[in-house]
Structure 1
């Protein structure tokens, strides 16, 4: 799977009064792609919660390069770049054709649902994530 791509269309609700995507909505697009990548790998967030773990964003670095606009069709990528004991990093991009509109590095941490403290990623998930790097 290496680089996962999720298509997104920009809806009116994603934009500001000028028809440009509001900056925080790029983070939502990134989130959708990460969630869909995990789903494609066989991991549903609600099932993970039932097993006592959740994945949460720990840190994010974003560069906004070119604005996206209302009704455009975009591609959002999610590419695992680092897997550690209790966290993993994604390198993500939002593109329109060959143009990179936005890019980011997102660190996701694994937490225990009850304590909300860091918890080791289960070995089977950790191995599958490492295979995607």
Structure 2
């Protein structure tokens, strides 16, 4: 997914503020569902972040167009782990591993429904 860096994404020096890289990745994860005509909020629950490892390699700046790439690293019964990387052209700027856990609407960790697990596996190859 391509994202344009706007002034609101940057600090006073025109450099993307560190937390906005997480926002860009979140937007890309949601867009995967929207592109398939689905919602990231599933019929019986939704995903929440459990663990994040992030590396800031180089800075994106005001006006840049960056690309967020997302790949499935691991899938379990109630969670999955993604690798998300942000690039400017061919230059990697940011990388993140994120573990997302499925939570039902009662607030409990639950097994990811099979149809949603299949969607994730095919969409995040």
The reply on whether 1:17 has 2:8 as its aligned counterpart is no
| Residue 81 of structure 1, CA deviation | 1.4
Q: Judge conservation of contact 1:92–1:104 (CA < 8 Å) in 2.
A: yes
| Residue 107 of structure 1, CA deviation | 0.8
Give the whole-Å Cα distance in 2 for the aligned partners of 1:38 and 1:105.
Answer: 19
Instruction: Give the structure-2-normalised TM-score.
Output: 0.92
Which position in structure 1 is the counterpart of 2:40?
Answer: 45
Give the whole-Å Cα distance in 2 for the aligned partners of 1:22 and 1:39.
Answer: 26
Give the whole-Å Cα distance in 1 for the aligned partners of 2:87 and 2:62.
Answer: 14
Q: Judge conservation of contact 1:21–1:70 (CA < 8 Å) in 2.
A: yes
Taking the TM superposition and a 5 Å limit, the aligned residue runs for 1:71-110 are 71-110=63-102
SS in 1 for 2:23: helix
| Residue 129 of structure 1, CA deviation | 2.1
Alignment RMSD (CA, Å)? 1.3
Give the whole-Å Cα distance in 1 for the aligned partners of 2:119 and 2:26.
Answer: 20
Which position in structure 2 is the counterpart of 1:120?
Answer: 111
Instruction: Give the structure-1-normalised TM-score.
Output: 0.87
Which position in structure 2 is the counterpart of 1:130?
Answer: 121
Q: Which runs of 5+ in 2 are unaligned?
A: none
Q: Which runs of 5+ in 1 are unaligned?
A: 1-5
Give the whole-Å Cα distance in 2 for the aligned partners of 1:39 and 1:87.
Answer: 20
The reply on whether 1:28 has 2:23 as its aligned counterpart is yes
